[in-house]
Amino acid sequence: MTKIGCDEGIIYEFNKVHEPIRTIPAGSTVTIQTYDCFQNQIQSADTEVTAIDWNKINPATGPFYVEGAMPGDVLKVKIERIDIGEQGVMVVGPDLGVMGHALSEMESKILPIRDGHVLFNDLQIPVNKMIGVIGVAPEGEGVNCGTPGAHGGNMDNKMVTEGATLYFPVFTEGALFALGDLHAAMGDGEVSVSGVEVAGEATVTLDVIKGVSLRHPMLENEDVFTQIVSAPTLDEAAKTAAVEMIERIAEKASMPVSEATMLMSAVGQSEICQIVDPLMTARFVVPKSVLNQLGITFFE
- Decide if residue 181 touches Ca ion (CB under 5 A): yes
Q: How far is the CB of 97 from Ca ion (least distance, A)?
A: 11
Q: How far is the CB of 37 from Zn ion (least distance, A)?
A: 4
Q: Which of residues 170-189 bind Zn ion (CB under 5 A)?
A: 181
Amino acid 123 reads: L
Residue 87 binding: pick among Zn ion, Ca ion, none (C-beta 5-8 Å cut-off by kind): none
Task: Give whichever of 230 and 261 is closer to Ca ion, judged by the CB atom.
Answer: 230
Mask for 8-47, x = binds Zn ion (CB under 5 A): -----------------------------x----------
- Decide if residue 89 touches Zn ion (CB under 5 A): no
- Decide if residue 148 touches Zn ion (CB under 5 A): no
Residue 9 binding: pick among Ca ion, Zn ion, none (C-beta 5-8 Å cut-off by kind): none
Task: Give whichever of 57 and 212 is closer to Zn ion, judged by the CB atom.
Answer: 57
- Decide if residue 132 touches Zn ion (CB under 5 A): yes
- Decide if residue 237 touches Zn ion (CB under 5 A): no
Pick the piece of the chain touching Ca ion (CB under 5 A) from 43-51, 91-99, 127-135, 281-289: 127-135
Residue 154 binding: pick among Zn ion, Ca ion, none (C-beta 5-8 Å cut-off by kind): Ca ion
Sequence-separated (6 or more) residues with CB below 8 Å from residue 269: 284, 285, 286
How is the chain classified by DSSP, letter by letter? -EEE-GGG-EESEE-TTSPPSEEE-TT-EEEEEE--TTTT---STTS-GGGS-TTS-S-EEEEEEETT--TTSEEEEEEEEEEE-SEEEEEE-TTSSTTGGG--S-EEEEEEEETTEEEETTEEEE---EEEEEE---SSS-EETT-EETTEEE---TT-STT-EEEEE--STTTTEEEEEEES---TB-TTS---EE-EEEEEEEEEE-S---SS-EEE-SSEEEEEEEESSHHHHHHHHHHHHHHHHHHHTT--HHHHHHHHHHH-EEEEEESSSSSEEEEEEEEHHHHHHHT--S--
Q: Which of residues 147-176 bind Ca ion (CB under 5 A)?
A: 154, 156
Task: Give whichever of 24 and 136 is closer to Ca ion, judged by the CB atom.
Answer: 136
Q: How far is the CB of 155 from Zn ion (least distance, A)?
A: 11
- Binding residues (CB under 5 A) for Ca ion: these are 132, 154, 156, 181
The site for Zn ion (CB under 5 A) is made up of: 37, 132, 181, 195, 197
